[in-house]
């Protein structure tokens, strides 16, 4: 269809095209799973509040939908990396407290101040944010970030006193309000490592220095998902939870289920083709795989343009209740599974069958963790990289009756490490 013809089609036809695209291939996001996970973290973190981290389009799940579900379930804050991501949430009508922490000289601090977006400050941003506050005639809301050991963003402890002094000067002039002090952990997903203790000690020192400088913050925050689960002493006033909101485990030795979390994303499609082939049939570019006997090949219409890692050969795809490893190279649009010897009738029947790349893992179905293992990466990357070529669809958009707070608390504590 040409672009002109596409522009001519009516709303009904467009809806039916969108519906068939979703039926063909989709990332289905269960918003009740998101709400469940957030309720777990609210219970675990209490009395600290929860910031749902919805950067990178909510790790691929859809920032606006996840943000609304997370707020429904008790998250008090939202967090993103970029001001542009925060502005998109404000444009969708979301007015919850919202922090953006990663900037460049081209970041739109004016828009952030105008939209009441909190801005993370490592040092150099302070003057630019104050200039924006002057322009907007409105005090900026800032969270001062200290580098406690991660070596990325944040002010070094050596420069911290100076940053505190500058920020307090500006606060005294009514140009900003120091809302928070924060930092980020490097190895909380490996709870046995000593560096988390060292980072927490530096963070406590930074807080003490801030108090000495007269800073009176609303929130001090350093914990991510793994720290929230494994280090109650890292909770302070607020925890910033990303991965856990999506129901995924940050720990190598623990599944989502063991942590009481529900994975929210299922990537599914339909088998495009299913055909009998002889022994020795080569599969996909490079012919790196050959059938060891007469067999049946299933063609899965998902490839690296959809976000499947090209290196992930061997990752599982579930058809008819069985997990089959992907064989041969993963291509831009497609990948292949070897279904073994089937009758021609059985093969024909499987054409159009549902194929699940990963989901919540119930009934031993494939998970984002399985794909992370196949691709030598982590589950963060697997869900985040599912591209916009795969339409998102949402289930359970409307909240169910909330569970009793006591029940949620007991379940959450049982799931925590
Ligand atoms: C500054 C900051 N805080 C919190 C998070 C959330 O981390 P996690 O997804 O492990 O909860 C991230 C994500 O990388 C982050 O960059």
Ligand 1 binding pocket (C-beta < 6 A) is: 53, 101, 184, 224-225, 240-244, 250
Query: Ligand 1: which residue has its CA nearest to atom 8?
Result: 242
Pocket test for ligand 1, best of 203, 242, 380 (most atoms within 8 A of CB): 242
Does 72 reside within a domain?
A: yes
Give yes or no: residues 248 and 176 share one domain. yes
152 has binding-site annotation: yes
- The CATH number linked to 298 is 2.40.37.10
Query: Ligand 1: which residue has its CA nearest to atom 2?
Result: 184
Give yes or no: residues 298 and 219 share one domain. no
Q: Of all residues in the chain, what percent carry a pLDDT higher than 70? A: 94
Ligand 1 mean position, distance from CA 316 (Å): 28
> Would residue 137 be called left, alpha or beta, if left means φ above 0 and alpha means ψ between -120 and 50 degrees?
left
Give yes or no: residues 93 and 193 share one domain. yes
Average pLDDT estimate for 396-402: 75
Pairwise CA distance, residues 17 & 120, whole Å: 42
pLDDT of residue 4: 45
pLDDT digits (tens, 9 = 90+) for 141-154: 999 999 999 999 99
Q: What is the dihedral of CA 85, 88, 89, 94, to 10 degrees?
A: 150
pLDDT digits (tens, 9 = 90+) for 342-367: 998 888 899 999 999 999 999 899 99
pLDDT of residue 3: 44
Beta bridge partners of 144: 121, 181
- The CATH number linked to 222 is 3.20.20.10
Give yes or no: residues 122 and 227 share one domain. yes
Of ligand 1's atoms, which has the minimum distance to the CA of residue 244? 11
Look at residue 401 and tell me whether its pLDDT is greater than 80: no
Q: Which residues are part of the catalytic machinery?
A: 55, 285
Look at residue 307 and tell me whether its pLDDT is greater than 70: yes
Give yes or no: residues 248 and 322 share one domain. no
Confidence of residue 416 (pLDDT cuts 50, 70, 90): low
- Lateral strand order in the sheet of 322-327: 273-277, 295-300, 335-338, 322-327, 316-319, 354-358, 265-270, 25-30, 392-395
Per the prediction, the chain carries an average pLDDT of 94
Give yes or no: residues 135 and 279 share one domain. no
Ligand 1 mean position, distance from CA 318 (Å): 31
Give yes or no: residues 235 and 299 share one domain. no
pLDDT digits (tens, 9 = 90+) for 61-90: 999 999 999 999 999 999 999 999 999 999
Q: Residue 338 corresponds to which tokens in the numbers above?
A: 């070897």
Give yes or no: residues 192 and 317 share one domain. no
**Cβ-Cβ contacts under 8 Å for 136 (sequence gap 6 or more):** 110, 113, 114
Confidence of residue 404 (pLDDT cuts 50, 70, 90): low
Ligand 1 mean position, distance from CA 242 (Å): 6
Give yes or no: residues 279 and 234 share one domain. no
Domain assignment of residue 169, given as a range: 31-252
Look at residue 285 and tell me whether its pLDDT is greater than 70: yes
**Cβ-Cβ contacts under 8 Å for 135 (sequence gap 6 or more):** 110, 113
Does 402 reside within a domain?
A: no
Ligand 1 mean position, distance from CA 301 (Å): 32
How many domains does the chain fold into? 2
Pocket test for ligand 1, best of 120, 184, 203, 384 (most atoms within 8 A of CB): 184
Give yes or no: residues 126 and 193 share one domain. yes
pLDDT digits (tens, 9 = 90+) for 151-170: 999 999 999 999 999 999 99
Backbone phi, then psi, for 51, in 5-degree steps? -100, 120
**Cβ-Cβ contacts under 8 Å for 334 (sequence gap 6 or more):** 272, 299, 300, 301, 302, 303
Confidence of residue 44 (pLDDT cuts 50, 70, 90): very high
**Cβ-Cβ contacts under 8 Å for 171 (sequence gap 6 or more):** 177, 178
- Of 255, 239, 235, 236, nearest to 247 (Cα)? 255
What's 331's DSSP letter? Answer: -
Look at residue 138 and tell me whether its pLDDT is greater than 90: yes
Predicted TM-score of the model (pTM): 0.93
Does 2 reside within a domain?
A: no
Beta bridge partners of 53: 79
pLDDT of residue 1: 39
Pocket test for ligand 1, best of 41, 240, 244, 254 (most atoms within 8 A of CB): 240
Ligand 1 mean position, distance from CA 57 (Å): 13
1 has binding-site annotation: no
pLDDT digits (tens, 9 = 90+) for 224-248: 999 999 999 999 999 999 999 999 9
Give yes or no: residues 224 and 294 share one domain. no
Of ligand 1's atoms, which has the minimum distance to the CA of residue 153? 1
Does residue 395 sit in helix, strand or coil? Answer: strand
pLDDT digits (tens, 9 = 90+) for 320-340: 999 999 999 999 999 999 999
């Amino acid at each position: 269809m040409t672009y002109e013809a596409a522009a001519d089609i009516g709303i009904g036809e467009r809806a039916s095209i969108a519906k068939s695209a979703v039926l063909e291939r989709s990332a289905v996001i269960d918003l009740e799973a998101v709400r469940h996970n957030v309720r777990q973290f609210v219970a675990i973190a209490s009395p600290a509040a929860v910031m749902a981290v919805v950067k990178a389009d909510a790790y691929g799940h859809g920032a606006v939908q996840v943000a609304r579900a997370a707020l429904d379930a008790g998250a008090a804050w939202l967090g993103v990396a970029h001001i542009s991501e925060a502005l998109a949430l404000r444009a969708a009508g979301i007015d919850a407290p919202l922090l953006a922490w990663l900037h460049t000289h081209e970041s739109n601090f004016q828009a952030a101040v105008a939209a009441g977006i909190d801005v993370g400050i490592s040092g150099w941003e302070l003057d630019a944010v104050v200039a924006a506050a002057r322009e907007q005639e409105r005090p900026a809301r800032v969270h001062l970030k200290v580098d406690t050991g991660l070596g990325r963003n944040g002010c070094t402890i050596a420069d911290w006193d100076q940053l505190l002094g500058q920020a307090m000067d500006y606060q005294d002039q009514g140009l900003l309000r120091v809302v928070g002090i924060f930092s980020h952990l490097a190895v909380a997903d490996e709870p046995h490592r000593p560096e988390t203790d060292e980072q927490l000690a530096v963070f406590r020192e930074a807080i003490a220095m801030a108090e000495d400088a007269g800073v009176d913050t609303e929130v001090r925050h350093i914990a991510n998902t793994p720290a929230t689960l494994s280090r109650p002493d890292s909770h302070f006033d607020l925890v910033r939870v990303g991965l856990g909101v999506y129901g995924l485990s940050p720990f190598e030795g623990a599944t989502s289920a063991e942590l009481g979390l529900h994975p929210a994303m299922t990537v599914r499609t339909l088998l495009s083709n299913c055909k009998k082939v002889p022994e020795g049939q080569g599969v996909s570019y490079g012919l790196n795989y050959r059938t060891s006997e007469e067999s049946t090949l299933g063609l899965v219409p998902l490839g690296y343009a959809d976000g499947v890692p090209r290196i992930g050969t061997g990752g599982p795809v579930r058809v008819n209740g069985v997990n089959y490893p992907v064989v041969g190279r993963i291509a831009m649009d497609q990948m292949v599974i070897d279904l073994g010897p089937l009758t021609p009738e059985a093969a024909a029947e499987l054409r159009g069958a549902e194929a699940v790349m990963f989901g919540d893992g119930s009934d031993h179905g494939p998970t984002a963790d399985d794909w992370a293992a196949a691709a030598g990466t982590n589950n963060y990357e697997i869900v985040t990289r599912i591209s916009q070529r795969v339409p998102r669809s949402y289930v359970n958009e409307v909240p169910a009756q909330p569970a009793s707070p006591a029940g949620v608390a007991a379940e959450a504590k049982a799931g925590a490490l």
